[in-house]
Amino acid sequence: MNSNQLNEAALLAEIERLKSQLAKLEQSQSANVARLYQTEERLAVAMRGASDGLWEWDLASNEVYYSPRWKAMLGYEEHELESHFGTWESLVHKGDHAYVLSCVQSYLEGSATSFEVEMRMQHKQGHYVYVRSRAFKVAPSPHAAPSRLIGTHVNISDQKKSELFEEQSNNILEMIAKGKPASDIYIEIGLLYEERHPGLRCSMLELSGNRLLHGGAPSLPKAYCEAVHGLENGPDVGSCGTSTYTGKRVLVENIETDPKWAKLKEIAMPFGMRCCWSEPIRSSAGEVIGAFGMYYDHPALPTSDELIDLIAAARITSIVMEREKNLRRITDLAYTDPLTRLSSRAHFYSTVETLIALNSGHLQFSLLYIDLDNFKGVNDSLGHDVGDLLLQEVAARLKRAHREEDYIARLSGDEFCILVTDSLDNRNASYVASRCIQMVAESMELMGRKYTPSCSIGVAHYPDNGQNLQTLLKAADTALYAAKASGKNCFVLYEPEMTASAEYRFKVEQCLREAVELQQLNLVYQPKVDLTTGAVAGFEALCRWSHSQLGPISPIEFIPIAEQIGVIKPLTAWVLTCACRQAAHWNQISDADISLAVNISPSHFLDSDLVGLVSGVLQETGLPPYLLELEVTEALVQTDQLNLVTFGSLKAMGVKVAIDDFGTGYSSFASLSHLHVDSLKIDKYFVDDMLNDTKVKKLVGSMIEMGHSLDCKVIAEGIELRDQLEILQTFGCDGAQGYLFSRPVEEDQVPDLLQKATLFT
């Protein structure tokens, strides 16, 4: 307890003693009234002589006695301040004025048994002092109305500031916990410390890269905040710029003379700033993420209390600043595609839904649903890393293709979407779609090879093709499917008739799942003919599907769907097992070795379980490995490590590998040689054209010659004419398939073909 509090306590004890004496005297007879009044006068004189925050209010005249200590609490000298009620009214805070007077009235009227209030009173220097005031009433006679109030003032500013600081600190922590905006919290933090140190102005700056961004400054001029926003930090860039650069506290006593402010003082001084102290704001990991600055309008270094508060302010601000940094990172992850830096699917969907929700009735726009053509082949053959590079390049091209007012996002995989705004008709959408087709199709290099990507685009128009996000996307996706079916590398505008086609495809997908699960498909077998003898050299197993409601469905249609919906692996396992079992049976009843070819999907070929599947099927069916030939597309003929492992394992097992549709892909001699392929199958496209195009004819001859140079057998597909057969025989082609020899047959027809000496007609 300090001397002031001891003085007040002693005075109050004396007052209580005298009041007790007055109460006893009141119980005396009227003869003692004179003595009572004399005691009251002695009390008043005692209080007038005290030196500690005393006041006496004459209720009739409104004259008020203010003791020297009372005046000193507010920064005034003994001779200052007039002795009347108006002095108190001019000094008490307007927000407390009515409350204090109501407490006075209640005490005087007797509805309150005591008088004790807390109020704010203005110091001579302008700030407010928290005061606790206690008083008792004095009457001229026992039953008369009170004529005076006599009381004390105690300065409780330190205690009150501590209470308010704790309350405001808790409020700030609550705001942080509830996720209030950082800008609001920064203001509260600034005000918290500005109230503790009158005249202080606070600033919080966030560090983004090497630039300072305005976070909050409740009392600094807007013009100054705008001037320092975006400022690049450095070793001599003011106090905050230097502290974020060095990671150390910077205390500048005089902005006008300190060299660190040489380039910035002309910005600060017009706003009255004369000193600045800065504390770096660090994350929980110790990274500098900002700076907390304190300014005064006079040169100064911080007191011990101010320095403690500077450090504390930086620490509490770090909680908010780090939270904001993490939130931005989370938002970036949620709303930005990390690979292409385009908007994410979630952000795109949110944007479209918001646009529709704000529709005033006249809004029109288009969605361009974009899908890369044959992207899976790039991933399967060149690897996902190369696929990612392709996606990044395509994203950059699409950004250049769309207009500035449009909005682009990557939805997933190789799918992109562009929102074309202000689309009064389909002209804007068609223009943007055409540019996308054109710019995506520019040649590029992938793994040292020239590659020309392409894309297909489906376009849906709002509100004609859908009035919500789901129906719009469905319409755009339906149009995209139509673009793919039209040959790819084009765009298609949605038409209502397309929905029926999409529904049919959906039904095919559902029925195919069931057919694979219940093994409702069947196999047919097309013979391979030795072009030297005309005899059957083997068969290729071909999958067929005829649905009870949908009718016959071509493999060209259902095989890609099987890959897309994820049933290609169980389908392949079923085909491989049935075909090998059948081939094993034929070889039991035949003197010759009958080989069997089975097509393997590129995605399944690269699957780690393919080798195990093949080995298991051969053991189960008893078919010798050398009689099984797996056909894969040319896209797989790359020296990728996964390809090498799969090819090597199959060769070690004794299984043969053939390259199907040879000439349509982009294989290299080096890859073919390295992988030790057994057979090359020339695509029907070349066979059809070689009768009419001499260049194609020469190309076919070269392909056969190249295959032989690699110790590969060469098989031609799609032979329908005798002239085609003769040309192939001239070139020395080893074998052929086609309707000229036999259409695919059921398993029970195979023995008849095996008995024929030749299939040449």
- 288 pLDDT above the threshold of 50: yes
**Given this model, what pLDDT does residue 29 score?**
41
- 157 pLDDT above the threshold of 70: yes
d(CA 174, CA 180): 9
Mean pLDDT along residues 593-599: 92
- 719 pLDDT above the threshold of 70: yes
- Where is mean pLDDT largest: 173-177, 258-262, 642-646? 258-262
Distance of CA 35 to the CA centre of its chain: 86
- 19 pLDDT above the threshold of 70: no
DSSP assignment letter at 17: H
Lowest mean pLDDT of 2-11, 171-180, 285-294, 482-491, name the range.
Answer: 2-11
pLDDT-based confidence at residue 580 (cuts at 50, 70, 90):
very high
Lowest mean pLDDT of 321-335, 445-459, 645-659, 681-695, name the range.
Answer: 321-335
Mean pLDDT along residues 169-190: 90
Torsion angle of the four alpha carbons 66, 68, 70, 73, in this order, in degrees rounded to the nearest 10: 150
What's the longest Cα–Cα distance across the chain?
Answer: 156
**Given this model, what pLDDT does residue 331 score?**
76
- 363 pLDDT above the threshold of 60: yes
Q: What is the tens place of the pLDDT at every residue in 633-672? A: 876 665 455 667 888 888 899 999 998 878 665 555 556 6
What's the length of the chain? 761
Mean pLDDT along residues 709-714: 90
**Given this model, what pLDDT does residue 33 score?**
45
Lowest mean pLDDT of 106-120, 429-443, 489-503, 669-683, name the range.
Answer: 669-683
Of 255, 330, 271, 15, give the one whose Cα is nearest residue 151.
15
d(CA 679, CA 712): 5
User: Is the CB of residue 159 less than 8 Å from the CB of residue 129?
Assistant: no
Helices (H), 554-692: 555-565, 568-589, 602-605, 610-621, 641-653, 669-675, 684-689
> What is the full DSSP assignment across 488-517?
SSSEEE--THHHHHHHHHHHHHHHHHHHHH
User: Is the CB of residue 370 less than 8 Å from the CB of residue 429?
Assistant: no
525 Cβ contact partners less than 8 Å away, ≥ 6 residues apart = 539, 540, 541, 542, 582, 744, 745, 746, 747, 750
Beta strands in 29-186 (DSSP E): 54-58, 64-66, 115-122, 128-138, 148-155
d(CA 534, CA 692): 25
pLDDT-based confidence at residue 602 (cuts at 50, 70, 90):
confident
Mean pLDDT along residues 270-298: 95
- 223 pLDDT above the threshold of 80: yes
61 Cβ contact partners less than 8 Å away, ≥ 6 residues apart = none
Lowest mean pLDDT of 70-79, 621-630, 640-649, name the range.
Answer: 640-649
Average pLDDT of every residue of the chain: 87
Of 383, 394, 390, give the one whose Cα is nearest residue 416.
394
pLDDT-based confidence at residue 740 (cuts at 50, 70, 90):
very high
Torsion angle of the four alpha carbons 388, 391, 397, 403, in this order, in degrees rounded to the nearest 10: -130
> What is the full DSSP assignment across 346-397?
HHHHHHHHHHHHT--S---EEEEEEEETTHHHHHHHH-HHHHHHHHHHHHHH
In the numeric block, which tokens belong to residue 538?
A: 């083997």
d(CA 168, CA 53): 29
Query: 110-130 burial, b for 16+ CB within 10 Å, e for fewer?
Result: eeeeebebebbbebeeeebbb
- 44 pLDDT above the threshold of 60: no
**Given this model, what pLDDT does residue 151 score?**
92
**Tokens 């056969």 correspond to what residue?**
704
**Tokens 């073909």 correspond to what residue?**
753
Mean pLDDT along residues 398-419: 91
d(CA 639, CA 672): 9
In the numeric block, which tokens belong to residue 729?
A: 């025989």
673 Cβ contact partners less than 8 Å away, ≥ 6 residues apart = 710
pLDDT-based confidence at residue 447 (cuts at 50, 70, 90):
confident
In the numeric block, which tokens belong to residue 325?
A: 């940094």
**Given this model, what pLDDT does residue 761 score?**
67
**Given this model, what pLDDT does residue 377 score?**
83
User: Is the CB of residue 366 less than 8 Å from the CB of residue 403?
Assistant: no
Mean pLDDT along residues 396-420: 91
Mean pLDDT along residues 102-112: 93
% of the chain with per-residue pLDDT over 90: 59
Mean pLDDT along residues 234-247: 95
pLDDT-based confidence at residue 140 (cuts at 50, 70, 90):
confident
Mean pLDDT along residues 200-227: 94
747 Cβ contact partners less than 8 Å away, ≥ 6 residues apart = 523, 524, 525, 582
- 32 pLDDT above the threshold of 80: no
Omega of the bond leading into 140 within 30 degrees of 0 (cis): no
**Given this model, what pLDDT does residue 710 score?**
85
- 453 pLDDT above the threshold of 80: yes
% of the chain with per-residue pLDDT over 70: 89
**Given this model, what pLDDT does residue 674 score?**
66
